[in-house]
Amino acid sequence: MRVEIWSDIACPWCYIGKARFEKGLAAFAHRDEVEVVHRSFELDPSRAKHDTAPVVEMLAKKYGRTLDEARAMEEHVASNARSEGLGYRTEGRDHGSTFDIHRLLHLARARGRQDELLDLAYRANFAEERSVFDAEVLVDLAAEAGLDADEARAVLTDEDAYADDVRTDEREAAELGATGVPFFVLDRRYGVSGGQPAEVFTQALEQAWQGRAITPIGAAAGACDADGSCEVPQA
Amino acid sequence: MRVEIWSDIACPWCYIGKARFEKGLAAFAHRDEVEVVHRSFELDPSRAKHDTAPVVEMLAKKYGRTLDEARAMEEHVASNARSEGLGYRTEGRDHGSTFDIHRLLHLARARGRQDELLDLAYRANFAEERSVFDAEVLVDLAAEAGLDADEARAVLTDEDAYADDVRTDEREAAELGATGVPFFVLDRRYGVSGGQPAEVFTQALEQAWQGRAITPIGAAAGACDADGSCEVPQA
């Protein structure tokens, strides 16, 4: 079974949702037969590359609240994160363009290190004093995830590298009806939106597992059977 | 959209079916949004590693036919292959264990060279005087496909390398109801068996494309919307 997770590194519910999904997956009997792929989704796709701003200020401006009210919103999210055992800073964190991080996550996927890099990037962004909007921090995270630092730097420098992969993921999310993230798609058949409780993920995995029937298309045609015989069916 | 193709290098209908699928895919409007993954299926899983036999003799024995009758069976398959522009030898080809080739195809997948290696292996087996049951031929094919020859040799030497991936593919084929190959699965939702005409593949791709609706599971939960807002829905 295959689970695709659309998320953005700047999305706290994606950070929390990933932990809850993994807890739900751990309780699923067929967990070893589940392949997880992370896909790109930018919450703020029009944001310029170097345009960063403190999260609390961005929230206050966006929702027309005071800084104290914005901090309270962040505290609410932080309490959800902490209840999952995740670190969460409510001050000093920046908001910015995540396009480059998504490109790097595609390189990591090609090298079999996507999950490692995503976990490190979430931790850097939400729990540590490291800016994921700084290219050198991203190179360090890539190296920590087991990627080649020079290759990571080359991808970050070449703005076209994996750019189409990011855009393809985003177009697919829209086609599948995603209006936000995290968005979990099981075998392209069932969808789970948001940072649901772990039990919901386990239940969704069980439902998708049971619903894996394949609808056949086409009449009989030349094939080789499991007994090794290869013949053309008679019309 | 994702198409998974279960096949065996020793299966002539897989060789023919791949060409027909690719022709069908070329006629599909959203072909650039289709990801193709090749999965393992052994027609003769109990065959020992070095136990090879001429195909025509194997066919005669299997079906209780004369060698001439077995040759006629092969000629029939060959005419189907040739009508797709594929080379096909009916003499001198061996039958044997394909387990090592499947392991190598998994390495190729990890390195982004799976389709290249599969095409080269099919051509070597069906159209050329090269035995895919010879490890050195496999190393050469891997190098031609753009893999590192030393890495390919190391995988072939280590009998555990990618062995679980082959077995997982085979278990999944059984779970999905495959009784033979080629077996094409579109988004884990639709299945096409056998080397169907190209038009059937185009039609199946169109049907799967239209049927991509996702069934939602779970109530509203904390999420970040595409407008960038991250809030918890009120109960």
Q: Give the residue on B whose Cα is nearest the Cα of A192.
A: B217
Q: B176 or A212: whose pLDDT is higher?
A: B176
Is pLDDT of A14 > 70? yes
- The span from the first CA to the last CA of chain A, in angstroms, equals 35
Residues of chain A contacting B203 with CB distance shorter than 8 Å: 217
DSSP string, B178-229: --EESEEEETTTEEEESS--HHHHHHHHHHHHHT---EE-S---SEEETTS-
CB contact under 8 A, A223 and B194: yes
CA distances from B189 to A31, B30, B114, B218 (A): 20, 17, 23, 21
Closest CA to A47 of A33, A62, A32: A62
- Distance between CA atoms of residues B24 and A30, nearest Å: 34
Q: Hey, of A186, A224, A225, A232, which one would you mutate to test binding to chain B, going by the most B CBs within 10 A of its CB?
A: A224
Cβ within 8 Å, pair B221-A8 = no
* Beta carbons of A220 and B185 less than 8 Å apart: no
Give the closest of A194, A214, A226 to B220, CB-based: A194
Q: What is the pLDDT of residue A232?
A: 65
Q: How far apart are CA A103 and CA B98, in angstroms?
A: 37
Are the CB atoms for A146 and A113 separated by under 8 Å?
A: yes
Fold (CATH) for B2-225: Glutaredoxin (3.40.30)
| B54 Cβ neighbours under 8 A, 6+ residues apart | B92, B93, B94, B95
> Which 3 state secondary structure label does DSSP give B230?
strand
Q: Can you tell me the ipTM of this complex?
A: 0.75
Mutation site, B35, B58, B214, interface A, largest A CB count within 10 A = B214
User: Which residue has tokens 């996927």?
Assistant: A109
Give a three-class secondary structure readout of chain A: CEEEEEECCCCHHHHHHHHHHHHHHHCCCCHHHCEEEEEECCCCCCCCCCCCEEHHHHHHHHHCCCHHHHHHHHHHHHHHHHHCCCCCCCCCCEECCCHHHHHHHHHHHHCCCHHHHHHHHHHHHHHCCCCCCCHHHHHHHHHHCCCCHHHHHHHHHCCCCCHHHHHHHHHHHHHCCCCEECEEEECCCEEEECCCCHHHHHHHHHHHHHCCCCEECCCCCCEEECCCCEECCCC
Q: Tell if the CB–CB gap between A204 and B195 is shorter than 8 Å.
A: no
Instruction: Please report the pLDDT score of residue B62 as a whole number.
Output: 85
A165 CB neighbour count, 10 Å cutoff: 18
CA distance B103 to chain A (A): 17
Lowest mean pLDDT among A79-83, A123-127, A212-216, B59-63: A212-216
Residue tagged 């090794």 (tokens) = A228
pLDDT at position A87: 96
- Closest CA in chain B for residue A47: B228
Q: What token pair was written down for B103?
A: 């392991």
Q: What pairing do the DSSP bridges indicate for beta strands B190-193 and A215-216?
A: parallel
pLDDT the model gives residue B155: 98
Residue ranges of alpha helices (H) inside B27-148 are 55-63, 67-83, 99-110, 114-122, 135-144
Distance between CA B129 and CA B161 in Å, rounded?
27
**For residue A77, pLDDT beyond 50:** yes
Q: Are the Cβ atoms of B223 and A80 closer than 8 angstroms?
A: no
Reported confidence tier of residue A45, pLDDT bands at 50, 70, 90: very high
Q: What is the pLDDT of residue B83?
A: 95
Order the strands of the B215-216 sheet from edge to edge: A35-40, A2-7, A183-186, A190-193, B215-216
Structure confidence at residue A233 (pLDDT) = 60
Write the pLDDT tens digit of every residue in A134-152: 999 999 999 999 999 999 9
Per-residue pLDDT, A235: 45
pLDDT in tens, A89-105: 988 899 999 999 999 99
Phi, psi angles (nearest 5°) of residue A6: -85, 130
pLDDT of residue B92: 84
A133 within 8 A of A97, measured Cβ to Cβ: yes
Name every chain B residue with its beta carbon within 8 A of the beta carbon of A76.
232
Average pLDDT by stretches of 10, chain B with 235 residues: 95 96 97 95 92 91 90 92 95 92 96 95 95 97 97 97 95 89 93 94 94 81 80 59
pLDDT at A234: 53
Three-state DSSP class for residue B112? coil
How many C-beta atoms lie closer than 10 Å to residue B160's C-beta? 8
Q: Terminus-to-terminus CA distance in chain B, angstroms?
A: 35
Alpha-carbon distance A214 to nearest alpha carbon in chain B (angstroms): 5
Q: What is the residue extent of each domain of chain A?
A: 2-225
